[in-house]
Amino acid sequence: MEDRQLMGSLPFQPWSDSVRFRSHARDCTNRRRVAPGSEVPVVGTTKRHWWPGLLDRRTSVLSGEDGMPTRRTRGSLELGVIDFDAALDHQVESMDRACCELGFFRLPIDIVTAHVRDAAWSTALQFFALADEAKHAIAFPEPGYPYGYSPFRAETLARSLDDSEAQPDLKESLSVGPDCGGPRTPLPGEEWICSPSLWPDAVPELREAWVAYYRELSGVAERLLRVMALALDLPGAYFEPFVDRPITSMRAIRYPVSPASDTALRAGAHTDYGTFTILRTDDVPGLEVQDRAGRWLAIAPDPDCFVVNLGDTIAQWTNDRWRSTLHRVVPGASERHSFAFFHMANWDARIECLPTCLDPGSVPNHEPIEAGPWLMRKFQSTV
């Protein structure tokens, strides 16, 4: 069966493992191979160029001192778009460049069926509109339980990076787990991550809506992993054995308006723990990322796209060639909502440096880990 059939009905080009780019590119801003018709960014100038696939077609961008193609809109950074309808070599080149430079990119929102994504979003809003008593009915039943309702200030994401002085996050959330993908019998060690999701009786349609959304995004994740494999000079199906029993979770988040005198963040500075996160947001700003120079850059909100950011697993696999970027959500004068799909590898997947990401004579930056225990340690440090 052709990969095209496996990947669904969208008009992809047939996958080919013959697409090849530099395996050991460390300085991504100085890569010499570019997509046909593209101009090479000139570091240290303000030369205008076009980069198909990385940003919307015919979007004018600037190369700054770091040579990074970006577009700034009223002080915000507009992320590049990975377009599954584009030629495969453009997808692969765009993916590698985006993952090297910032570890963040966008996907068009219509990659998920409209009624599926809208039902998930609207039921999340209905849940957060409930009285506190109804929300607390499905709160975490014990400290460290992975799914259910997390009240305002119950989580401190910055603690996942050992910031013991961080203030609790100014948010509330509802999380569900891998049982959304269908029934599964936990393997030894998986009992915690396979804990049952908790569903609100007060919004009975939420469960069906979220399960459908989870399953569509799982398909999107499979497509992303194939492009990522090719961008890393690997066969398109390389990651499949690592993600055939994924421990992916999903979370809707509400950030209430907080007093101007409150010095806490809506979400403290952190990196995500898994392979990548697929995030839907409203039109309220607040998400910021830290670039390689340590500068915080605001991400322009775009309700018509998903934001995708890489997690620690990808950074470990690629020996930090691809970035798991520090990010945060800063306070604002308006209520903000988002919906995150946290893709994870299998619980027992061994995460170690990929063969195409290690220069001859070099040693990996990270010790091998198992994906599941890594996730559990990170999550339980925050609650």
Report the candidate in 328, 313, 318 with the shortest Cα–Cα distance to residue 371.
313
Q: Answer yes or no: CATH 2.60.120.330 is held by domain 77-83+103-380.
A: yes
Coil, helix or strand at residue 79 = coil
Residue type, 10: L
- Show the tokens assigned to 241: 């054995």
In the chain, where are the structural domains located?
Answer: 77-83+103-380
Task: For residues 136 and 155, give the distance between their C-alpha atoms in angstroms, rounded to a whole number.
Answer: 15
- Show the tokens assigned to 118: 């809208």
282 neighbors 301 (Cβ within 8 angstroms): yes
Cα angle, residue 44 at apex, residues 103 and 289 outer, rounded to 5°:
25
Task: For residues 83 and 57, give the distance between their C-alpha atoms in angstroms, rounded to a whole number.
Answer: 10
Q: Which residues of the chain have pLDDT under 70?
A: 1-75
Task: For residues 137 and 131, give the distance between their C-alpha atoms in angstroms, rounded to a whole number.
Answer: 10
Strand order in the sheet with 296-298: 267-270, 327-329, 287-290, 296-298
Entry field: residues in the chain: 383
Coil, helix or strand at residue 296 = strand
pTM of full prediction above 0.75: yes
Q: What is the pLDDT of residue 75?
A: 57
Burial of 272 (0-12, 13-18, 19+ CB in 10 A): buried
Task: For residues 141 and 123, give the distance between their C-alpha atoms in angstroms, rounded to a whole number.
Answer: 22
